């Protein structure tokens, strides 16, 4: 009888210990889960502060509203709003051009502005951010009128051999420095500020360009560049903003602008 009572007591103690252990483990799991982030970074939205400061989204994350193909040279089918990005997917080429492609440009023109966006490229990819674009049938391409910030895979694309054709450069005019571009497949953040004839660029948080436009030095740089035969190149102080179709996969997101 005494042995039975002892066994009964030991059983009760074991059960209590087991329950406490399970409760402790359960609490531990709850605490662990509570430390795990349950939200992801939002894209293609403005904060309340940004909206008050005058920022405007140029891409809503789900449509090509506010954009069209330069000179309406195609139906733009190669550009798509997918997974929160404005994506060029050049599936088919004809005569060296993307079927349904072409440079995609904003509906609105801008003069003094602060532009922000993110971009990433496929391996060996090439694209560009073009601004002060004059849209007119007499100009075949947007880059015939607007200067370009190079978007490039420096490690995989042959154009990187030219010191003024690398990612972040004011294409064929001024080399950016220091080099802060990330590898192909990773997102890069760009800020461009054009105000009263001075262009500033930040690539991934570091200032890489500061270039006065339209002075004597500017004219000399253009005269010594591939644009020297294009008398209208970079002469407009107001124009559209464009994203270049260079025949490679490229993604853009978080495209926003503030007029200055």
Q: How many CB atoms lie within 10 A of CB 31?
A: 9
Q: How many CB atoms lie within 10 A of CB 228?
A: 11
Q: How many CB atoms lie within 10 A of CB 196?
A: 10
Q: Percentage of the chain surpassing pLDDT 70?
A: 85
159: which residues sit within 8 A by CB, 6+ positions away? 126, 150, 152, 165, 166
Element (H, E) at 2: helix 2-34
The predicted-structure confidence for 118-146, as pLDDT tens digits, reads as follows: 999 999 999 999 999 999 999 999 999 99
Element (H, E) at 52: helix 48-53
Question: CA 162 to CA 166: how far, in whole Å?
Answer: 7
Question: CA 17 to CA 64: how far, in whole Å?
Answer: 62
173: which residues sit within 8 A by CB, 6+ positions away? 147, 164, 211, 221, 222, 225
Average pLDDT, the chain: 88
pLDDT of residue 1 exceeding 50, the answer is no
pLDDT of residue 19 exceeding 90, the answer is no
**Contact yes or no for 127/119 (Cβ under 8 A):** yes
Domain spans of the chain, in order of start:
1-39, 48-259
pLDDT value at residue 40: 53
pLDDT of residue 96 exceeding 90, the answer is no
Report the CATH fold assignment for 48-259.
Jelly Rolls (2.60.120)
Question: What φ, ψ does residue 61 adopt, rounded to 5°?
Answer: 90, -10
pLDDT of residue 6 exceeding 70, the answer is no
In the numeric block, the tokens 């049938």 are attached to: 137
pLDDT value at residue 95: 87
Residue with the bigger pLDDT between 35 and 68: it is 68
According to DSSP H, which parts of 170-250 are helical?
A: 216-223
pTM: 0.84
* Sign of the torsion formed by the C-alpha atoms of 81, 84, 85 and 88: negative
**Contact yes or no for 240/232 (Cβ under 8 A):** no
Find the mean pLDDT for residues 224-242.
97
pLDDT value at residue 41: 77
The predicted-structure confidence for 243-256, as pLDDT tens digits, reads as follows: 999 999 999 999 99
Distances (CA, A) of 204 to 24, 169, 259: 45, 14, 22
Which two tokens mark 248? 């490679």
The predicted-structure confidence for 168-206, as pLDDT tens digits, reads as follows: 999 999 999 999 999 999 999 999 999 999 999 999 999
């Amino acid at each position: 009888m005494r042995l039975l009572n002892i066994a009964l007591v030991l059983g009760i103690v074991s059960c209590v210990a087991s329950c406490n252990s399970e409760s402790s483990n359960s609490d531990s799991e709850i605490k662990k889960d509570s430390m795990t982030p349950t939200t992801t970074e939002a894209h293609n939205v403005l904060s309340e502060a940004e909206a008050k400061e005058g920022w405007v989204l140029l891409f809503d994350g789900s449509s090509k509203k506010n954009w069209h193909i330069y000179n309406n040279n195609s139906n733009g089918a190669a550009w798509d709003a997918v997974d929160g990005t404005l994506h060029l997917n050049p599936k088919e080429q004809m005569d060296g051009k993307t079927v349904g492609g072409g440079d995609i440009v904003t509906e609105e023109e801008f003069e003094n502005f602060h532009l922000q966006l993110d971009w990433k490229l496929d391996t060996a990819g090439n694209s560009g951010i073009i601004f002060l674009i004059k849209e007119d049938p007499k100009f075949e391409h947007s880059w015939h009128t607007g200067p370009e910030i190079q978007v490039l895979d420096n490690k995989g694309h042959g154009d990187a051999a030219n010191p003024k054709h690398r990612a972040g450069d004011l294409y064929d005019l001024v080399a950016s420095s220091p080099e802060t571009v990330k590898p192909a497949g990773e997102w890069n953040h760009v800020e461009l500020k054009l105000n009263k004839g001075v262009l500033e660029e930040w690539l991934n948080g570091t200032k890489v360009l500061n270039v006065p436009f339209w002075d004597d030095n500017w004219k000399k740089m253009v005269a010594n560049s591939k644009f020297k035969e294009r008398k209208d190149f970079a002469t407009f102080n107001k124009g559209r903003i464009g994203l270049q179709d260079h025949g490679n996969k490229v993604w853009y997101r978080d495209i926003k602008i503030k007029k200055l």
